[in-house]
Amino acid sequence: MNGNHGTNHLDAEPVDGDTRYGPDDRIAISLTVNGEKVEAAVSPRLLLSDFLRGDLGLTGTHVGCEHGVCGACTVHLDGVPARSCLTMAVQVDGMEVRTVEGLAGSDGTLHPVQRAFRECHGLQCGFCTPGFLMAVTHLVENEELAETDDGVRAQLAGNLCRCTGYMGIVAATRRAAAEIASKG
């Protein structure tokens, strides 16, 4: 979204074309969020990030740039990291969505990535942290962690942090990967 009048070059005029749906229409979607079934009727222009935060109250997912660069809004869609600020709510109909609120166990046991971020000082203000946690969780659960620090940094290069200088985040990623690997 963007509230500027005439100041933003990202702000394109609406294109004529598909006029089947207007902003006041409501489209039924059905999805799973952190293991729970969700049914909703949403405007076709509602962003997934706004749906999660506003409609479902899952405010852990943060919005840092609204143009897909910073990664603060990263969630998992069917197990794959995605920018919820570049995804419309109607696009996730039928999908499984996992957010930062779904990382810890139902008994509150922290995910190894969450623990590692605390232990390695991988966060300061905490605003970008949910996006990093989701990106790193996918990385350590599904991919091979690079052997060199430069390699790990390249694997983390979809998310911006303005506080930490990334050192704690690199260390946390290594620690979480080691813990998950040791548990086979």
Is the CB of 36 or the CB of 94 nearer to other proteins? 36
Least distance (Å) from other proteins to the CB of residue 64?
Answer: 5
Q: C-beta of 148: minimal distance to other proteins in Å?
A: 10
Closest CB to other proteins among residues 22, 184: 22
Closest distance of CB 25 from other proteins, Å = 13
Q: Which is nearer to other proteins, 3 or 17 (CB)?
A: 3
Q: How far is the CB of 76 from other proteins (least distance, A)?
A: 13
Query: What is the DSSP pairing of strand 36-42 with strand 96-98?
Result: unpaired
Which residue lies nearer to other proteins by CB, 147 or 184? 147
| Beta carbon nearer to other proteins, 26 or 118 | 118
SS3 track for the chain = CCCCCCCCCCCCCCCCCCCCCCCCCCEEEEEEECCEEEEEEECCCCEHHHHHHHHCCCCCCCCCCCCCCCCCCEEEECCEEEECCCCEHHHHCCCEEECHHHCCCCCCCCCHHHHHHHHCCCCCCCCCHHHHHHHHHHHHHHCCCCCCHHHHHHHCCCCCCCCCCCHHHHHHHHHHHHHHHHCC
**How near is the Cβ of 77 to other proteins at its closest, in Å?**
17
Residues 6+ apart with CB under 8 A from 8: 2
